[in-house]
Every structure is written in C-alpha cells, then in structure tokens.
Structure 1
Amino acid sequence: MKYLLKYGTVVSAQKTEKLDVLIENEKIISIGADINDPDAEIIDVTGKLLFPGFIDGHTHFDLEVAGTVTADDFETGTRAALLGGTTMVIDYASQDRGGHTLQEGLDRWHQKADGKCSCDYSFHMSVVEWNEETEQEIQKMIDQGITSFKLYMTYPAMIVNDRDLYKILKKLGECGCFAGVHCENAGVIDALIDEAHKEGRFGPENHPLVRPDTMEAEAVHRLLVIAKEADAPVMVVHLTNRKAYEEVISARKNGQEVYAETCPQYLLLEDSVYSKPDFQGAVYVCAPPIRKKEDQDCLWKALSDGDIQTVATDQCSFTLEQKALGKKDFTKIPGGLPGVQTRGTLLYTYGVETGKITKEQMCRLLCENPAKLYGLYPRKGVIREGSDADIVVLDSEARSVISAKTHAYNTDNNPFEGFELHCGIDKVFLRGNLAVEDGRLAKEKLGIFVPREKSSYHGE
C-alpha cells in the first residue's frame, strides 16, 4: 500500500518542519513540502506531529521473576507498546545459571516472541555466568544481530561479581559492543533488609529504605571504575537519582564513554507512593526504587542538557494478586511497573508541554538516540528517505486520563493512574502498515525480529 501523509509537521532530532511524507513497500520513499502522487492514498494529518516510531530499549515481557511470570507477554505487551507509538522494543533474553549457554537463552526468547508481536522487536542478552564457553559465544550473539548485553550487580540469580564484571566488559569492548548494567550494592541492600526484618518492618514503605540512593550511586561508581580499567564503554540503565548521575558526569569528565537511561517513573513519581494505604504502595515496587522530587528535577535537567541519552520504560508488569505475594514481606513483592503504552504521551505532556524539553529532544530521547545506541540507525529512529516507514502521528490537541480500566496492559493497576495526558496517539505506521488508527489497533501481530548492527552513537 502507498500512503501520502499530507500537511503534517515532521519532528526530527534537529528541527521541526511542515512536510509531506510518501511511504510505500515498508519504506519512506519521499519527503517534501508539497508532494503529489495520484496512486497514493492521502491521509490528512493537518495539525498533527509526525515522530519516527518510538523505540523502547528496555522491556521485560514473559519474564519469570519472584515466583511468578510478568502479566504481559510479548502479545499483550507489544500491543500496548504499539498503541503508545512504540514501533520497536528491545527485550532482555537471558542466560540461566547452571552451565546454560547464551544460545539457549536466545533460542528461548525467540520462542516466546515469534509470531506474537504487534511491533518490531530485538533482544539484549543478559550474561549471568562467565566462563570460556560464554566468552566464545559473544561473537556468535553478535553474528545473530544481538549487539548489546545486560549485567546485574544485584539479584542472586543474575548477579556477576566484580572479577567477571571486568572480564565481560573488556570482552565486549574488544568486540565493539557494550553492556547496560543494573547498578545497586547487593551486599548492603541485604544487610538493610536484615535490619528491617529484625525490627518487624515488612510493609512496602520499607522498599526505598533498603535500596537507598547511596547504594545505587556506589554501584555506579564501582561499575565505572571497573569499566575504565577494562577500557570499555558502558550504559547505566534506569538511572534514578542525583548522586548516581553525578558519578556518570564525573566519569565522562575523566574521559570515559558512559551512556545513561532513565524511565518515566523516575521523572514523574515520588517515593511517598510507597506509603499509600491498603498495600497500594506495592504497585510501585521496582528496583531501583522511585526517588524524591529533587531527583526528578535533576533528571529532567539532565535530559535537557543531553546528559541522559534515552528514556526507556523497564516495563515489567504484575497484577495486584501477583503483587500480593509480598503481603507479609515487602521483599517478596514482584518488582516492576508497566509503562510501554504511555511513555511517549507522558514525556510530551510533562516534558514538552511544560518546557522541560523540546519536541526535538523528545525525538532524540525516544527515537534517534536509541536507534543509534542499539545499531538500528538509519533504518529506524528517523523520518527520512530509505528508512523504515515507522511513523507516529501525535495529536497535541487530544485529552485523556490514564486509567487501569482503559489501558491495554494485562494488569488491573497502573502506576500513573489519574495522570492527565495533553496529547494522544492518533495513528501509527509500522514499516508502512497502518497499524493504529484513531487510537485503536488496526492490525495485530505485524512485528518481526530485527537483527542489529553495532552502535553508531557518537554523542551528537
């Protein structure tokens, strides 16, 4: 099908201008001020903003965690993502402990996703055991289009020690890749949990107290010292607070290549949510925890200054019944929040509309930067001739309120319940297919696996 999007305003990372966009056979074939094509179906997008398809570089679908499985699998999760303008997600495939290979983990995630996705997808690979066989598999992963990896400095089933952290980062650097790292000090967190239990503190209000900002900042510092010794680039995922951010800036001043990601929950929610009555604080349990207003302000300024490269979601959803697994002990609450459906509209409403960031910066954070970081650019992340026709038509005049009663997640709760949205996703094109129309899914299960090249990000 050939479509001609007329009279809209195209947003790029550099500028915003009124242009027509002609798409055919999954690609953008022409962009100009006044395009005419008698063979194309004309779509009037007067007054609308045209963004490249959003890319979410941090999701967890169909993930076994805390004795349960995330409420959203690849089918429901990517459906919600597409409705929110996200045309590609990069989920986390994982190696299992006990001598299992990276290839086994990747094969398992392909089985989880194949034929179920509404948007395009790829994977990072989580490395949880390091040995000679795993080291040899890194290049095999790269050959299959997996060019980014994940490491954990916490969680017993996932954690790698400092020795292996150094070895893995060094190997990835030699291969021209990098790892995103979950930074928290596991030992001190365990000690603080022990103290809470001994004092009879078992409610969700204790969650941020046992995972303080200092222990995130310490882990970020330790990671960056090790990364410098390994002479390797690194990504700090889901950065939450000022202290950790300052560690990133200090390392960059010291000549290191360090990327940073944050999430909507850290930009818009405060740690007082954990004290909500009737166990409602459990809805917000995630790691690292939601922080304070001063940390929000720091992160918004960092986005404006270009010091944080991307806003992802860390999508990891659970029902209230699943959250209740920790009713008697907050450490047993499955950690994670849904977010893929509202990331773009929240960032526009509370970032662009309030003047904290510009439309162009929003495009950089949600589209161009993740495309470059994760080896997708210029196929994705930009509206230009030859790129995939992934286009989000955003209506800045639309108004709605976020509610668990109307969202597309497979959950009965939403951490942004009651948040007003001053925009809406009107249409979404996925590789030239009209996949969302008038805010409703037009076509399902269009998504394909997209192999990736190495990062092409150079700090633009």
Structure 2
Amino acid sequence: MSLIISGGTVVTADGRFQADVRVDGGKITALGLDLAQSGDEITDASGKHVLPGGIDVHTHLSMPSMGTVTCDDYYTGQVAAAMGGTTTHLDFCIQSKGSSLRAALDTWHGRAKGQAVIDYGFHVAVTDPLPEVLDEIAGLPDQGVTSIKLFLAYKDTLQVDDTAMFRCLERARDAGVLTLVHAENGDAIEILMAEAIARGETAPKYHALTRPPELEAEATGRAIALAEVLGAPLYIVHLSCRPALARVREAQARGARVTAETCTQYFFFTKDDLDRPGFEGAKWVCSPPLREKEDQAALWAAVGDGTLSVISTDHCPFRFDTQKTLGKDNFTLIPNGVPGIEERLVVLHQAGVRGGHFSLERFVALTATNPARSFGLGGVKGAIAPGYDADLALWDLERPHTITAKTNHGAVDYSLYEGMEVRGMPVTVFVRGQTVINQGRLITERGSGQFLHRQRI
C-alpha cells in the first residue's frame, strides 16, 4: 500500500507546482496528478503547501559545557525540532581531552540510542589533535561522519591553534571530510574578558563587548587563508557580522572552496538585548554574540544573494532559572548558547518570506536543500523528488500562532521569540513517510529516528 499526499502545492528550491506525492517504503516514488489508486492511504493536503522537512545542521543536544549540560536531550530536542517542521539535524560530538574521536562518537551514539524521533547525523569536534587523533580523521567516513569542527575560541578548553587547524584541514581534505570552523580569536577574547572582569564589568552586556566583530573577521580570514593554501573545503559556522561576511565574499570571488551559514537569532536580535533589565540579558548570550542592526541587514542580503547558503540554529539550550544564572555575578560564567530548534522555520518564514527578504523557494533552499547538499545528504534528504526520503512538512501558510515558552515543546524555560506572532505553520510532518507530527500532536514513538551515514564531501 502506498501513501499518497494528495492535492497540495509542492514547493522545492527550484519552483512550486500542484502535485500528488506517492510514497513507498519511506521513499518518494512519484510526483504527478491523480496518483491515488484503490487501497492507497490518502493524506489530504488540499490548501496546504508541501515542503521538504527542514534540516538543521548545527545543534548541541546533551552537550556538556561550562560546568553544565544543555537541557535538551535527543528526545526533547528532536520533538521540538519536529514540531517546528525539522526532520533531520546534525549534532556535534565533542572530543574530550586525551580521548579519541571514536570515543566521542560512541558517547554521542549512546545519548541518542532509543531517544530519537527524527533522523540525525554527527559532526566531530577535534579539541585535542594528538597524532593518533589526526590519523582517525581518515576513518570517519566509514563511520558515516564526513565533517569535523574546529574551535578557534574558548581558550584552554576547546580552542585549537593554527598548527592543529592546518593539519586537520589537510587530513580532512584527503579524507573527503568537510572542516567546520568556529571563527573567533580566542586568545584576544580571553584577554578582553579578563580585563573587563578586573574593571568590575560583570553584566551580560560585556559578553558582546569583549567579543568584537573584528575578532570574528580575523579568525574567519585566517581559517580561509589556511584552507586556500591547502585547497581544502571550509565551512564557517554561525557567521554574525559584516566584517566576517566580507572575508567570505572575497574568498568566494577568488574561487575558494568556502561556504558559510548564519543562524536564526542573528536576524532578530542585537547586542542591546544583552543589556535588558536585571539579568534578563543572559538569555541572549551566545558566541559569536549578537551584533548591530546593520549586521542584520547585511545577513538578510547575503542569504538572498547566495553568499550565505544555510540558515541553522546553533541550538544550544540552557535553562534560565538554573543554568544561565551560573554567571549571575560574572558574565564569563554564563553558559554560551541560545535555543531555537523549534522556532527556526516559522520565524524565518514570517520575517524572511512574508517580510520580503526571499521567496518560499529560497526558504526551502536555505533550510533544507542546501544543508543536505553541503553535508553529504544530497539525493537522500532536502528535496521532493523520486528517490528521496519522504521527509515532508505540510504547511498551512495562513495559520496564525503566537510563540511562547509555555506552548513550545523542548526542555528550555524561555523562548527568545516570546510573544512573536507568526502566520504560517507546519501542521503535519513526515519522516521517511511515517507521520511524526499531526496538528500539534506527536504521533511517532521514541526511538523511531535513525542515524544517517553521510557521503564524502
């Protein structure tokens, strides 16, 4: 028996058209009109738009950080993702000092086992590039992992130096693995933070003031330069500001193999949000920090013209009541990260599509098709075509919704977008042809999500 999603408007990165979608064995097998036959299971999509499920390539579930652990695990985080129309995400495994990349993967596989409700994959963050660890990079694709991450910030914990970056870029290039870089100059930031604390500047706003855009731009340019020397592919994560954007644009004009993402929060908030009354600004502490209105305008333009090809979340949730407060007397102790895995698609549709920054087709490209192509899921995820997984979201583009923490579905106790009114919501979500969400209700069982073995880059 086939599943027929009937009567909807199919939207891809290349266009939109009226069509039924036939699904067999979890795969899309046909697009066309009047595909239903006797005995088929019919889902009526009349009046709805059928989009590829969203792909969020930058999340942090069950991740230890700054003396605590992100509050969404592989169940709560993925339920929130699915409720927002996301059907696939890529999460970060963090190598422990003195340990192996294999051990990091084993740990994160254990955290996900039996919990997932959508499909997922892993990046591995290399934090201690011992010779034997560098040797492991070549074997990552055989384990389904085709991307590594390097931090150029968080000195003495996650940060790697230029020697390590160069060696990792080289090994990754040879293995068909993409290198992701968190681009901030951690050495300079460490000095600026210490000087601020010595002056008694302890409030959340100083988090942004001690991580200026020039230091993001410098690290972005440095990573690009090393990658260009090696001819290695490079992906800049969570790009936030005009100076760093300029480095990426210049490199792309030279033909360098450089791509970059930005994250949802950078379109909606500025560093002024860190200066909200009391300790409220801690909710907006993330790295790189929120910037200026002018940076927002530049980012909207860059996702429109293709300089930035992906919009992710960097979903790194900490509860305000018990976790963000760890830095109440010292901004350097505030856990860095913000939530957004559930809100990403609806706020981008509202501000991006309804706001006139890009078309619905471009929305699909930025949130599904491009992420799949960039991270070894092309031909499998991120599009609506025969042969692809039937990861689909039926959107009611007129449905109103007011975002609140109380009606969200993750474990975090606040939403950055509290009170924001949107029009346009996913109402039914499928993963490999199985209904996961219907009308705000979770349908699937815990553990139904699958680990994805991705292709070499």
TM-score range relative to shorter protein: over 0.9
Say which is worse superposed, 277-286 or 132-141, in terms of deviation. 132-141
Query: What is the letter of the counterpart of residue 128 of structure 1?
Result: T
| Secondary structure of 1:423 counterpart | strand
In structure 1, C-alpha distance between the alignment counterparts of 2:362 and 2:125, rounded to whole Å? 29
**Shift, 1:406, TM fit:** 0.9
Q: Match for residue 176 of structure 1?
A: 176
Kept in 1, the 8 Å contact 2:36–2:42? The answer is no
Q: Match for residue 440 of structure 1?
A: 441
Normalising by the residue count of structure 2, what TM-score does the alignment of the two structures yield?
0.98
**Shift, 1:412, TM fit:** 1.1
In structure 1, C-alpha distance between the alignment counterparts of 2:81 and 2:312, rounded to whole Å? 12
Q: Match for residue 140 of structure 1?
A: 139
| Secondary structure of 2:169 counterpart | helix
Q: For 1:89-108, what aligned pairs fall within 5 Å after superposition?
A: 89-98=89-98, 100-108=99-107
| Secondary structure of 1:400 counterpart | strand
**Shift, 1:138, TM fit:** 1.1
1:314 aligned onto 2:336? no
Q: Match for residue 388 of structure 2?
A: 387
Q: For 1:358-373, what aligned pairs fall within 5 Å after superposition?
A: 358-373=359-374
Q: After superposition, give the CA deviation of every residue in 1:246-279 in whole Å (9 maximum; x if it has no partner).
A: 0001111222110101111001112211111120
| Secondary structure of 2:121 counterpart | strand
Q: After superposition, give the CA deviation of every residue in 1:363-401 in whole Å (9 maximum; x if it has no partner).
A: 111111111111111111111112111001111111111
In structure 2, C-alpha distance between the alignment counterparts of 1:153 and 1:46, rounded to whole Å? 49
Say which is worse superposed, 67-76 or 27-36, in terms of deviation. 27-36
| Secondary structure of 2:145 counterpart | coil
In structure 2, C-alpha distance between the alignment counterparts of 1:384 and 1:228, rounded to whole Å? 35
Kept in 2, the 8 Å contact 1:11–1:49? The answer is yes
Q: For 1:178-257, what aligned pairs fall within 5 Å after superposition?
A: 178-257=178-257
In structure 2, C-alpha distance between the alignment counterparts of 1:294 and 1:444, rounded to whole Å? 44
In structure 1, C-alpha distance between the alignment counterparts of 2:19 and 2:201, rounded to whole Å? 58
**Shift, 1:33, TM fit:** 2.5
In structure 1, C-alpha distance between the alignment counterparts of 2:408 and 2:111, rounded to whole Å? 23
Query: What is the letter of the counterpart of residue 325 of structure 2?
Result: A
1:21 aligned onto 2:53? no
**Shift, 1:178, TM fit:** 1.4
Query: What is the letter of the counterpart of residue 101 of structure 1?
Result: S
1:119 aligned onto 2:114? no
Q: Match for residue 2 of structure 1?
A: 2
Query: What is the letter of the counterpart of residue 324 of structure 1?
Result: T
Unaligned runs of 5+ in 2: none
In structure 2, C-alpha distance between the alignment counterparts of 1:140 and 1:175, rounded to whole Å? 8
Q: Match for residue 108 of structure 2?
A: 109
Q: Match for residue 60 of structure 2?
A: 60
Q: Match for residue 128 of structure 1?
A: 127
In structure 2, C-alpha distance between the alignment counterparts of 1:149 and 1:308, rounded to whole Å? 20
Kept in 2, the 8 Å contact 1:183–1:216? The answer is yes
In structure 1, C-alpha distance between the alignment counterparts of 2:29 and 2:39, rounded to whole Å? 13
Q: Match for residue 73 of structure 1?
A: 73
**Shift, 1:77, TM fit:** 0.4
| Secondary structure of 2:398 counterpart | coil
Kept in 2, the 8 Å contact 1:402–1:418? The answer is yes
Q: After superposition, give the CA deviation of every residue in 1:311-359 in whole Å (9 maximum; x if it has no partner).
A: 1110110111210000000110001111111111111110011110111
Q: CA RMSD, aligned part only? A: 1.0
Kept in 1, the 8 Å contact 2:53–2:87? The answer is yes
Query: What is the letter of the counterpart of residue 189 of structure 1?
Result: I
In structure 2, C-alpha distance between the alignment counterparts of 1:205 and 1:126, rounded to whole Å? 28
**Shift, 1:141, TM fit:** 1.2
Kept in 1, the 8 Å contact 2:138–2:171? The answer is no
**Shift, 1:135, TM fit:** 2.1
Q: Match for residue 425 of structure 1?
A: 426
Q: After superposition, give the CA deviation of every residue in 1:169-226 in whole Å (9 maximum; x if it has no partner).
A: 0111122221110000111111211221121110001111001111101110111111
**Shift, 1:97, TM fit:** 0.8
In structure 2, C-alpha distance between the alignment counterparts of 1:177 and 1:159, rounded to whole Å? 20
Residue 453 of structure 1: which of 449, 452, 455 is its match? Answer: 455
| Secondary structure of 2:171 counterpart | helix
Kept in 2, the 8 Å contact 1:424–1:439? The answer is no
Percent identity at matched positions?
Answer: 39
Query: What is the letter of the counterpart of residue 255 of structure 1?
Result: G
Query: What is the letter of the counterpart of residue 342 of structure 2?
Result: Q
**Shift, 1:117, TM fit:** 0.6
Runs of 4+ in 1 over 4 A off after TM superposition: none
Kept in 2, the 8 Å contact 1:167–1:230? The answer is no
| Secondary structure of 1:422 counterpart | strand
In structure 1, C-alpha distance between the alignment counterparts of 2:2 and 2:290, rounded to whole Å? 45
In structure 1, C-alpha distance between the alignment counterparts of 2:421 and 2:192, rounded to whole Å? 37
**Shift, 1:34, TM fit:** 2.6
Kept in 1, the 8 Å contact 2:58–2:92? The answer is yes
Query: What is the letter of the counterpart of residue 73 of structure 1?
Result: D
Unaligned runs of 5+ in 1: 456-460
1:286 aligned onto 2:286? yes
Query: What is the letter of the counterpart of residue 409 of structure 1?
Result: G
Say which is worse superposed, 319-328 or 171-180, in terms of deviation. 171-180
**Shift, 1:235, TM fit:** 0.3
In structure 1, C-alpha distance between the alignment counterparts of 2:317 and 2:215, rounded to whole Å? 25
Q: Match for residue 324 of structure 2?
A: 323
Kept in 1, the 8 Å contact 2:138–2:172? The answer is no
In structure 1, C-alpha distance between the alignment counterparts of 2:442 and 2:362, rounded to whole Å? 27
Q: Match for residue 51 of structure 1?
A: 51
Query: What is the letter of the counterpart of residue 115 of structure 1?
Result: G
